[in-house]
C-alpha cells in the first residue's frame, strides 16, 4: 500500500496534542453555551450574544478561574464543573497517545505540554472576548486555570492510553503506600459525603424553603439545580472536615465543629445546599473522628498484606507514608473547597487546609501504623489440580475387501450335489463310539 505523503506528520505527538486540546476546548465551550442558549430561548430577555458570553464565562469557571461580578470576586468555585473538561481532556489525551503509538513516558510530554499550552492560550483568548466590567475573569487566572486543568487531563489520558498503568514502573515499596493512602483518602471523603447527604435529608424542609424564597422560575430552577450539583464536591469536603473534627468556618468568628455546642448565627445566602450545615452538634459527635482511624486501619491492612515479606521498619515507613499522602490530599481538597462569596461576612468559607491535612494524617496514622506492623499470616497455598485427559479409543478400521479372507470352495460331487465337509474345528471325539472302535 503506498504511503500517504506527510503521513508521519499526522502521527506526530506534538501535532496530535494540539488537535486533542483544540477538540476538548471546542466541545467544552459548546457544552457550556448550550444551557445558556436554552435559557435565552425560554425568556428572550437578553440577546443571544449575551448568552454566548455567559457560556464563555461558565467555561472559564469550569476550568478553575475565579469570576468577579459587580466588583465582588467569587473564589468558592463549583468544582463539580471541572469534571467536564477533565473528562474531555482525558479522552482526547488517550486518543492522541493511541494515534501516535507512543509508549515512552518521555515522549508523552510531547503530547501533554503543547496541548496544555494551547489550551491555556485558548483560555486567555476566551477571557478577552467575554470579559466585561460587570462580569469578568482575571486574564492571568484564566490562563493558569486552563493550563493546570489541561495538564492534569491530558496527562492522565496520555498515561492511560499508553498502557503505563499496566506496567510496574514504580517500585513496589513506593506504589503500595500511595495506593493505601488513596484508599484511606477515599474512605474519609466518602464518609464525609454520606454525612453531608444525611444532614441535607434531615434539613430538607429548610432547603425547600430556601428554594421557594428565590422564586427563580423554571429556567432559574434548572440553573439552581445544576449549580447545586456542581457544588456537591465542596459539600463533601466540608462534611469530611466536620467529621474529622477540623470544623467549618462560616465567618471570622463562626465555626461549626463536632466539639462545639453551636455556632454563631451567620446570614448565609439562600442556597438550598447550605441547609445541610448542622445548627448544633449531635450527642455522638465526639465519636466522629474515629472515622479517620478506621480509614487508617484499612490502609494498614493493605500494607501488611502487600508487604508481608518486608521488614517491620519498611512497613512502618510505608504506613507513615500512606498517612502523609492522605494528609496532602486532604490539604489540597480543603484548599480547593475554601473561598469567598464576595461579602465581608462571607469572606472565608470552608475549612483550614493545614488543620484538616495535619489532623487527617494523624488520625489515619493512628490506625495504619499498628495495623501494618501486625504479622500477617502467610497466604494459603493453592492446590493445582492436574487436568484429567480422557483417553478416547481409536476407532477400529473396518476390514476392506482385500483384507477379508476368501471363502473356501464348497466340494462338489460327480453328480453335482454339494456335500458337507467337516470344519477343521470338528473334534474326532464327536463321532460315535462304535465308529471309532470299527476303525
Q: Percentage of the chain with pLDDT > 70?
A: 74
Last residue of a domain, one of 332, 357, 377: 377
Measure the CA–CA gap between 70 and 210, rounded to whole angstroms.
24
**Mind giving me the DSSP string for 142-201?**
HHHHHHHHHHHHHHHHHHHHHTGGGS--S-HHHHHHHHHHHHHHHHHHHHHHHHHHHHHH
**Domain co-membership, 196 together with 157:** no
Nearest residue to 362 (alpha-carbon basis) of 286, 296, 288, 287: 296
**Domain co-membership, 218 together with 337:** yes
**Domain co-membership, 300 together with 250:** yes
Q: E strand or H helix at 234, and its extent?
A: helix 232-244
Averaged pLDDT, 238-260: 83
Contact of 251 with 264, CB cutoff 8 Å: yes
Domain assignment present for residue 204? The answer is yes
Three cell numbers written together for 109: 510530554
**Domain co-membership, 247 together with 330:** yes
**Domain co-membership, 48 together with 155:** yes
Measure the CA–CA gap between 423 and 355, rounded to whole angstroms.
112
User: Which pTM value belongs to this model?
Assistant: 0.75
**Domain co-membership, 76 together with 138:** yes
Residues with Cβ within 8 Å of residue 194, at least 6 apart in sequence: 239
Domain assignment present for residue 397? The answer is no
Averaged pLDDT, 144-172: 85
Three cell numbers written together for 70: 459587580
Q: Which residue has the cell 503506498?
A: 2
Three cell numbers written together for 307: 508487604
Three cell numbers written together for 198: 444525611
Measure the CA–CA gap between 13 and 107, rounded to whole angstroms.
8
How many structural domains is the chain composed of?
2
Residue-averaged pLDDT of the chain: 79
Contact of 156 with 88, CB cutoff 8 Å: no
Provide the phi-psi class of 199: left if phi over 0, else alpha when psi is between -120 and 50, else beta: alpha
Predicted confidence (pLDDT) per residue in 288-324, tens digit: 899 999 999 999 999 999 888 888 899 999 999 999 9
Q: How far is CA 266 from the centre of its chain?
A: 37
Domain assignment present for residue 402? The answer is no
What is the predicted pLDDT for the residue at 399? 55
Three cell numbers written together for 406: 476368501
**Domain co-membership, 360 together with 266:** yes
Contact of 340 with 349, CB cutoff 8 Å: yes
Task: State yes or no: pLDDT of 439 exceeds 50.
Answer: no
Residues with Cβ within 8 Å of residue 78, at least 6 apart in sequence: 61, 227, 230, 231, 234
Domain assignment present for residue 435? The answer is no
**Domain co-membership, 11 together with 73:** yes
3-state secondary structure of 136: strand
**Domain co-membership, 246 together with 141:** no
Q: Categorize the per-residue pLDDT at 387 as very low, low, confident or very high, splitting at 50, 70 and 90.
A: low
Last residue of a domain, one of 112, 140, 167: 167
Contact of 32 with 146, CB cutoff 8 Å: no
Predicted confidence (pLDDT) per residue in 53-102, tens digit: 888 888 998 898 888 876 677 788 888 889 999 999 999 999 999 988 87
Comparing 363 with 288, the larger pLDDT belongs to 363
Domain assignment present for residue 392? The answer is no
* For the ranges 220-229, 344-353, 426-435, the one whose mean pLDDT is highest: 344-353
Domain assignment present for residue 421? The answer is no
What is the predicted pLDDT for the residue at 426? 47
**Domain co-membership, 160 together with 208:** no
Measure the CA–CA gap between 224 and 62, rounded to whole angstroms.
16
**Domain co-membership, 302 together with 199:** yes
Residues with Cβ within 8 Å of residue 295, at least 6 apart in sequence: 183, 184, 185, 187, 188, 191, 326, 363, 364, 367
**Domain co-membership, 69 together with 187:** no
- What is the DSSP secondary structure assignment for residue 262, as one 8-state letter? B
What is the predicted pLDDT for the residue at 344? 65
Domain of residue 103 covers 1-167
Contact of 342 with 77, CB cutoff 8 Å: no
What's the CA angle centered on 24, arms 18 and 27, to 5 degrees? 135
Comparing 368 with 377, the larger pLDDT belongs to 368
Q: Which residue has the cell 474512605?
A: 187
Measure the CA–CA gap between 44 and 378, rounded to whole angstroms.
71
Last residue of a domain, one of 167, 202, 224: 167
Domain assignment present for residue 132? The answer is yes
Domain assignment present for residue 423? The answer is no
Contact of 290 with 270, CB cutoff 8 Å: no
Amino acid at each position: 500500500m503506498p504511503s500517504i505523503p506527510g503521513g508521519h506528520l499526522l502521527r506526530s505527538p506534538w501535532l496530535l496534542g494540539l488537535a486533542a486540546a483544540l477538540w476538548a476546548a471546542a466541545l467544552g465551550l459548546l457544552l457550556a453555551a448550550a444551557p445558556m442558549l436554552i435559557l435565552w430561548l425560554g425568556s428572550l430577555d437578553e440577546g443571544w450574544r449575551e448568552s454566548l458570553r455567559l457560556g464563555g464565562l461558565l467555561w472559564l469557571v469550569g476550568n478553575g478561574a475565579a469570576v468577579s461580578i459587580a466588583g465582588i470576586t467569587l473564589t468558592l468555585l463549583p468544582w463539580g464543573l471541572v469534571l467536564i473538561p477533565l473528562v474531555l481532556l482525558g479522552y482526547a489525551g488517550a486518543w492522541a497517545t493511541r494515534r501516535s503509538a507512543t509508549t515512552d513516558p518521555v515522549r508523552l510530554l510531547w503530547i501533554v505540554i503543547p496541548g496544555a499550552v494551547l489550551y491555556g492560550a485558548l483560555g486567555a483568548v476566551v477571557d478577552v472576548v467575554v470579559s466585561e466590567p460587570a462580569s469578568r475573569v482575571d486574564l492571568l487566572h484564566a490562563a493558569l486555570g486552563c493550563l493546570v486543568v489541561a495538564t492534569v487531563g491530558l496527562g492522565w489520558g496520555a498515561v492511560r492510553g499508553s498502557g503505563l498503568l499496566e506496567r510496574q514502573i514504580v517500585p513496589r515499596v513506593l506504589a503500595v503506600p500511595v495506593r493505601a493512602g488513596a484508599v484511606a483518602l477515599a474512605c474519609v471523603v466518602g464518609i464525609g459525603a454520606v454525612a453531608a447527604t444525611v444532614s441535607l435529608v434531615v434539613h430538607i424542609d429548610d432547603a425547600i424553603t430556601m428554594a421557594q424564597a428565590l422564586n427563580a422560575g423554571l429556567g432559574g430552577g434548572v440553573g439552581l439545580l445544576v449549580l447545586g450539583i456542581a457544588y456537591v464536591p465542596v459539600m463533601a469536603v466540608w462534611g469530611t472536615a466536620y467529621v474529622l473534627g477540623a470544623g467549618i468556618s462560616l465567618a471570622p468568628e463562626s465555626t461549626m465543629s463536632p466539639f462545639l455546642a453551636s455556632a454563631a448565627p451567620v446570614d448565609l445566602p439562600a442556597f438550598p445546599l447550605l441547609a445541610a450545615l448542622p445548627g448544633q452538634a449531635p450527642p455522638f459527635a465526639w465519636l466522629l473522628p474515629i472515622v479517620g482511624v478506621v480509614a487508617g486501619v484499612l490502609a494498614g491492612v493493605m500494607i501488611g498484606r502487600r508487604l508481608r515479606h518486608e521488614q517491620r521498619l519498611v512497613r512502618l515507613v510505608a504506613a507513615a507514608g500512606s498517612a502523609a499522602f492522605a494528609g496532602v490530599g486532604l490539604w489540597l481538597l480543603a484548599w480547593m473547597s475554601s473561598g469567598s462569596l464576595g461579602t465581608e461576612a462571607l469572606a472565608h468559607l470552608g475549612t483550614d487546609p493545614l488543620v484538616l491535612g495535619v489532623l487527617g494524617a494523624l488520625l489515619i496514622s493512628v490506625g495504619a501504623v499498628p495495623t501494618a506492623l501486625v504479622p500477617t499470616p502467610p497466604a494459603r497455598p493453592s492446590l493445582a489440580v492436574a487436568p484429567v485427559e480422557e483417553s478416547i479409543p481409536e476407532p477400529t478400521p473396518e476390514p476392506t475387501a482385500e483384507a477379508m479372507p476368501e471363502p473356501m470352495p464348497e466340494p462338489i460331487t460327480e453328480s453335482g450335489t454339494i456335500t458337507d465337509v467337516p470344519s477343521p474345528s470338528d473334534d474326532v471325539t464327536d463321532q460315535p463310539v462304535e465308529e471309532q472302535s470299527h476303525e
